Amino acid sequence: MNRLEHSDEVKRIVDASKVLYDKDKSANTPRSFDSLMKEIDRREGTPVKVGISPWWLVAACFIGLLIGWNFPFDKAPKSDKLAVNDTVYITEKHTDTIYQQVQVERKVLQRKEREGVAIARQVVPQTVTPPAMCNEISLPDLKSIRPATSGRSLAQENFPIHLLVSL
Amino acid sequence: MRIFHSYKQDTDEELMLRVSRNDTYAFEEIYTRYATRMQGFFIRMLGYDIAKAEDFTQELFLKVYESRSAYEEGRIFSSWAFSMAYNLCKNEYRHREVVETHELEQNYDSNTTEEPSFEKMYDRAVFENQLSISLNKLPADQLAAFTLRYNEELSVSEIAQILDCPEGTVKSRLHYALHSLSQSLSMYNPIKP
């Protein structure tokens, strides 16, 4: 056995097999420990644990305590801070549109001017359009529609005169 | 508590005692130390079936965890784990024997061994390939003894514990394994670097 182990031929085989073995081990990493524990939990029927470390919970409680006890995180004087028992009134000022009062001079119409206005009201003829004419009047004259300098068509500008003429 | 105690310094046996007291972190340390070794052993023993080797590694550690209370104090953990691994392999061989005999009954002209060409004989890669083929052809007990002795570098007494046989039997298995390997690889002369 010893003679065989120390022969060159066997040494070469053993060395090569060791290289092969190490190569196989390094090339194929085993599954993660977490997957193994999941399988163990599944077989044992234990419920899945919540993935929060107890240390995180301790840290959260500590922060809660600091906040609850009003720990002085900044170095501002204590008089500037609000105590828990202080009452705070919040007033809200809202400004909307501001109106300015303006004095307007009223024109007092003369008696003659008043009469003139009354006469003018009486003179203006009342235009009554018969129902049969309504369609004709409301239809625009397509040939007369031409753009005017003011942007309005000539027919629109002349419409009241047009109406009077037809009557 | 893990924070106040590092498991890196502990021996395998100390860790296993902790595992028997349901210490999961100790089990994680055991897994970190042995998972790769065990997977390498399974790859060799199961004829380079990687997927099966991964499954067997997981199965082995499941068995280790399940039988943690049965672990005897003072027993070498590596021997205990390797013996469990070897038993898993033996079960697999029994299953394969049943399948192979069934296949042989249906297909009896599969004896086609090709002689490698002269140029290929001098190739180191071919030598390694032939070595793995020759290792696969070894009987399971000889292959286990060879792997544990020359790849895992365990002592003959440890191997005897793992394979559950006397030390003399281990030596004879090693002798037969080396003899058959040197015979099957005698025609290969790889170019040494």
Residue ranges per domain, chain B? 1-107, 115-193
CA angle B178, B179, B185 (to 5 degrees): 85
Q: How far is B160 from chain A (nearest CA, A)?
A: 16
- Asked if A28 lies within 8 A of B182 by C-beta distance, the reply is no
Residues of A in contact with B61 (CB under 8 A): 36
Helix (H, G, I), strand (E, B) or coil at A153: strand
pLDDT computed for residue B174 by the predictor: 92
Is the CB of residue B178 less than 8 Å away from at least one CB of chain A? yes
B1-107 is classed CATH 1.10.10.10: no
pLDDT tens-place string over residues A81-115: 556 666 767 777 777 777 777 877 666 556 666 66
What's residue B86's pLDDT?
Answer: 92
Q: How confident is the model at residue B193 (pLDDT cuts 50, 70, 90)?
A: very low
Contacts of B127 in chain A (CB under 8 A): 16
A17/B37 touch (CB, cutoff 8 Å), yes or no: no
Q: Looking at the complex, does the CB of residue B95 fall below 8 Å from at least one CB of chain A?
A: no
Grade residue B191 by pLDDT with cuts at 50, 70 and 90.
very low
Q: Which of A133, A138, A129 is nearest to A156 (CA)?
A: A138
Give B89-110 as a DSSP string. Answer: HHHHHHHHHHHHHHHHHH----
CATH architecture of B115-193: Orthogonal Bundle (1.10)
Is there a shared CATH topology between the B1-107 domain and the B115-193 domain?
no
3-state secondary structure of B165: coil
Could you read off the pLDDT of B112-169 as tens digits, one per residue?
455 555 555 556 777 888 888 888 889 999 999 999 999 999 999 999 999 999 999 9
Kindly list the residues from chain A whose CB atom is less than 8 angstroms away from the CB atom of residue B40: 21-22, 24-25, 28
List chain B residues with CB under 8 Å of A7: 182
The verdict on A43 touching B (C-beta cutoff 8 Å) is yes
Instruction: Closest CB to A30: pick one of B39, B135, B185.
Output: B39
Report the predicted TM-score, pTM, of the whole model to 2 decimal places: 0.59
Residue the block writes with tokens 């529609």: A145
Structure confidence at residue A79 (pLDDT): 60
A140 band by pLDDT with thresholds 50, 70 and 90: low
Q: Residue B30: its pLDDT value, please? A: 92
B35: which chain A residues are within 8 Å (Cβ-Cβ)?
30-31, 33
Give me the interface pTM, i.e. the ipTM: 0.78
**Higher model confidence: residue A161 or residue B41?**
B41
Q: Mutate which of B55, B59, B65, B134 to test chain A, going by most A C-beta atoms within 10 A? A: B65
* pLDDT for residue B61 is more than 60: yes
B104 touches chain A (CB under 8 A): no
pLDDT single digits (tens) A6-59: 788 888 888 889 988 998 888 888 999 999 898 888 888 776 666 678 889 999
**With an 8 Å Cβ cutoff, is B183 touching chain A?**
no
Which of A25, A39, A40 has the CB atom closest to B36's CB atom?
A25
Question: What share of chain B in percent tops pLDDT 90?
Answer: 41
Q: Using CA atoms, how far apart are residues B42 and B30, in angstroms rounded to an integer?
A: 17
Average pLDDT of chain B is 83
Q: How many CB atoms lie within 10 A of CB B37?
A: 19
Distance to chain A for B178, nearest Cα, Å: 7
- Does A58 reach chain B within 8 Å, measured CB to CB? no
Q: Report whether pLDDT(B55) > 60.
A: yes
Contacts of A133 (CB under 8 A, 6+ apart): A166
* B127 contacts B20 by C-beta, under 8 angstroms: no
Task: Say which of A4, A12, A21 has its CB closest to residue B179.
Answer: A4
| Residue that wins the pLDDT comparison between B192 and A133 | A133
Compare A46 and A69 and report the one with higher pLDDT. A69
Contact B28 A40 (CB under 8 A): no
Secondary structure class of A98 (helix, strand, coil): coil
Burial of B118 (0-12, 13-18, 19+ CB in 10 A): exposed
